[in-house]
Structure 1
C-alpha cells in the first residue's frame, strides 16, 4: 500500500509573526517556522497504518528551501521518502494553485492508495485545499476525520464537525483529512533523525510537474493584499470604582459601546 501525506511548514503560533514590506507576505527570514501540528497528526495516522500492514509513506510539501525541514521531520518520524516542491514562481500561491501543484506531485507517486492531510493549517485556516486536491485527483474525500480504519480495499472514518457526527465509508484510493482528535503524534527518535538523513527526497519544480504548460498556465494568486497595518497597542480599560454606583457605571459603559 502506498500512502501520501501532505504537509506544510507554517509560522510557530507561539512566536511573533511579521509581514514583509513588499507584497505583505510572511517574512520567513524573521519568523520561527515549524511543521504544522495538524500535519503531524496526519503523518502519525499514516505511521499507525504502516505498523499494521505493508505500507510505504511518501511525504509531500510545497515551499521554499526551509520547507525541507518539515519533510525531514516526517521522515524522522518514520516515513520512507519525500517530495519537496520548490519553485520561486510559487511564492504567494493561493489555495487553487496550491491544490493543483500538490495534486500533480501526488500523481508522480505510483499506485497511491490513500492521501492523508490535515483538515486546515494554522496559518490560513481555509480548510479547502484537501477537498480541492481530492477533486483534481478524482478521489472520494472524507473530511473532518477523528477516527480511521482500512479494510478490504475500503476506508471507514468517523467524522465530527460543529453540526454533528457521521460515519463515512469509501473505496480506495481516497483522500482523508484529519482533525486534531485523530491521535497524538510521536516524537522522532535519535535513530529516526539519523536515518532520515539517508532517506531519499526528490526536489521538483513547476517545469517537472507541468512540462507541457506555459508560464501563463499558473496564475499564482488571484488575490492580493493592498494594505497591512500593525496591530494597535492594547489600550487601558475603563476603571469603575464601586462606591455604590458601580452597576450604573458599567451599564452606562455598555450602552455607550452599543453592547446593550
Structure 2
C-alpha cells in the first residue's frame, strides 16, 4: 500500500540528523514512516542492511514491524529484536550458546544434590543442614563443588538478561565498540516504555552511534511509570 506522506513525515524519512525523535499518536503512521526510513536508507542511500538494528518492546510489535518491512523490501539482513532478546543475543554471542540462566529454586536443587554427595549419608546430611558451621571442611568442599559446577555448566543466576548484558558491556569496552561498529543505524520503537535498566542498556549500545531514530508516544505507554524517567523524555529533552 502506497502512503501519501506529509512534509513532516517526508522530512523524518530523509533526515540526515544523527538523532531523530518521531512522536505521534496511535494511527498517525509512525511505524510506516519508521519502515519507509529504513527503505530510504537501504535503497536510496545504499546502506548495507546488516548495519541496521531495530529494537522494540514486545514480540507483537516486532511482528508488526517485520510484516511492514517484508511488504516494502527484503528485510532478511536487518536485525530486529525485542530489547530483551537482543540483550540475550549479546550474552550468548559473547559467553557461548551453552549459557544457562537458572532461578533460585533450580539452584537449590543442585545445591542439595551436591551436599548429599559430599556428606555421603542421610545422617550427616541432616546434621550439616541443621548446623553447617560445625563442618567447616565439608562446607569448603561443597562450595568448591558448587563453584566448579557453575563454571563447568556456564551458569548464571541473573534473572534479567538486560542487566546482565549491561554489565558485560560496562566491563568490556571492546565488546561494546564492536556492537556500535556493527550497528551504525539503530531504530528504537516504543521509547515511552524504556526506563530503568533497559534505558541504561540502550545508552550503552547507542552512545556515539552514527544514526539513532526513535519512536514514541506518551499516550501509548504500557507501564505505570513517570514519563520523565523514560528514554522518550530524555531524547525529547536532548532534541529540544
Greater share of residues in strand: 1
Please say whether Structure 1 and Structure 2 have the same fold, judged by a TM-score greater than 0.5. no
If asked which structure has higher relative contact order (CA below 8 Å, sep 6+), I would say 2
